[in-house]
Amino acid sequence: MLFMWDPLHPEKTVQQIQRYCAFQDRSTHDVMEKLKSLGVPYPRIKSLVMELAEERFIDEERFVRSFVIGKFRQNKWGKIKIAYALKSKGIPESLTREGLENIDEEDYRSALKTLVKRKLSEIKGEKNLNVRQKIINFALGKGFEMALVLEIIKEIKIDP
């Protein structure tokens, strides 16, 4: 449980936020939001974030790597959705690109193919055009690129 900011005992909040960062990789944005929610004054937030970064409790590169791999493997998100989520956390585009390069292209295609096949089995029995459009919408919603989605649909032979 995180404690509210106590200016007389700031070490309690510092220890709690260190545990918060150690439990799971966090972005600077996430940590700043957590500190704001605890009522920590803004100048202290900046200095705390710098301390946490120096002590490697916060590491944006490490966060991006774990976020990208986690969202891809666990949530089956495509690169577009992952990039958008990282942007919303204030992660620089260059760091996002580096993180996305950690996704193996073969695994990426295979994951999309599996998702498409599963979705296809769920919506059998409808007109082909309708099925194809539903699969496209589903895959785009998961954050996969249109060109790749169309390639996979062609491979699986879902008729237009």
CA-wise closest residue to 110 among 155, 160, 55: 155
Share of the chain above pLDDT 70, in %: 89
Name the pTM for this structure. 0.86
pLDDT of 125-159, one tens digit each? 666 568 888 999 999 999 999 999 999 999 987 66
Show the low-confidence residues of the chain (pLDDT under 70): 1-9, 124-129, 158-160
Which residues are CB-contacts of 144 (< 8 A; sequence separation ≥ 6)? 78, 79, 80, 112
Amino acid 49: pLDDT? 94
Which residues are CB-contacts of 109 (< 8 A; sequence separation ≥ 6)? 148, 152
Amino acid 13: pLDDT? 81
Amino acid 5: pLDDT? 62
For 80, other C-beta atoms within 10 Å of its C-beta total 15
